[in-house]
């Protein structure tokens, strides 16, 4: 999974060269990377390193700074939880001079605490609380201005949920799963669960999750295994006349 994080299969060669080469520092390339971000937003792709390259350019060239891009990057990074992507992005947001020349007031200072809060809820697996916060009136502007544009944002959060549930449960109550996934209507949940290949029990109250390496537990007694190379010294000594 890490390989696809370092270099997603959807990344083009042009972007690869920018991300891996010295050209990533060239301010005139910021447009290409920003376009790529909007492409990710439209087509449900995700490329953390390319997005970090944008933030890096902003870090060095404060005149390039575009708060909408930053917010979008952070929104995309939310879906990567529990990987540290969100924190990595925040790490690159340097101090900004107070009178940065922007046409409109900078929305980032107001949105950052909100995004921080959402990320914290996700990282701590407080999924129902996340959905409550996300659907609250205070976050209307975030929804209307940003996440609505981000194709499959809610599904990307659901994937975070699925990752956590899949590794923790063998069976989970249908109501609970619905709450975590924010899928209230039985039909929606049914469709989603079917898509995952998970199964309901006959009463429809419990969902079974197929076995995977993380939800199979076994009390293992680890025995040492001695490999031949460890014995070479001893054997060669023994062979000596």
Rounded-to-integer distance, Cα 108 and Cα 192, Å: 34
**Which residues inside 85-144 make contact with another protein, applying CB under 8 A?**
87-88, 90-95, 97-99, 109-110, 112-113, 116, 120, 123-128
The residue among 8 and 149 lying less far from another protein, judged by its C-beta, is 8
- Closest contact distance (angstroms) between CB of 151 and another protein is 25
- Closest contact distance (angstroms) between CB of 239 and another protein is 9
The residue among 90 and 151 lying less far from another protein, judged by its C-beta, is 90
Within 8 A by CB and 6+ apart from 44, the residues are 151, 152, 155, 156
**Which residues inside 184-223 make contact with another protein, applying CB under 8 A?**
206, 213-223
- Closest contact distance (angstroms) between CB of 12 and another protein is 19
Nearest alpha carbon to residue 94 among 76, 73, 117, 70 = 70
Q: Tokens at residue 125, please?
A: 């697996």
Estimate the crossing angle of helix 13-20 against helix 30-43, to 10 degrees.
130
- Closest contact distance (angstroms) between CB of 25 and another protein is 7
Check if the beta carbon of residue 171 is closer than 8 Å to that of residue 209: yes
**Which residues inside 151-170 make contact with another protein, applying CB under 8 A?**
164-165, 167-170
Within 8 A by CB and 6+ apart from 75, the residues are 115, 146, 147, 150, 153
The residue among 22 and 137 lying less far from another protein, judged by its C-beta, is 22
**Which residues inside 13-72 make contact with another protein, applying CB under 8 A?**
20, 22, 25, 48-49, 52, 56, 59-60, 62
């Amino acid at each position: 999974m890490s390989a696809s994080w370092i270099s997603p299969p959807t990344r083009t060669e042009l972007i690869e060269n920018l991300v891996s080469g010295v050209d990533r520092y060239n301010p005139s390339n910021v447009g290409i990377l920003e376009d790529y971000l909007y492409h990710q937003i439209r087509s449900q792709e995700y490329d953390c390193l390319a997005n970090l390259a944008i933030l890096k350019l902003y870090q060095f060239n404060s005149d390039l700074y575009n708060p909408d891009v930053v917010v979008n990057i952070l929104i995309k990074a939310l879906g990567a939880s529990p990987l540290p992507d969100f924190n990595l992005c925040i790490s690159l947001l340097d101090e900004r001079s107070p009178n940065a020349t922007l046409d409109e007031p900078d929305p980032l200072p107001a949105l950052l605490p909100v995004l921080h809060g959402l990320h914290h809820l996700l990282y701590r697996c407080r999924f129902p609380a996340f959905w409550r916060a996300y659907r609250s009136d205070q976050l209307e502007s975030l929804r209307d201005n940003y996440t609505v544009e981000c194709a499959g944002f809610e599904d990307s959060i659901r994937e975070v949920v699925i990752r956590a549930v899949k590794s923790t449960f063998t069976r989970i109550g249908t109501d609970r799963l619905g709450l975590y996934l924010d899928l209230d209507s039985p039909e929606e949940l049914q469709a989603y669960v079917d898509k995952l290949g998970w199964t309901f029990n006959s009463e429809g109250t419990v969902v079974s999750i197929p076995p995977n390496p993380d939800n199979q537990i076994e009390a293992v007694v680890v025995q040492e295994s001695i490999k031949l190379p460890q014995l070479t010294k001893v054997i060669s000594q023994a062979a000596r006349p």
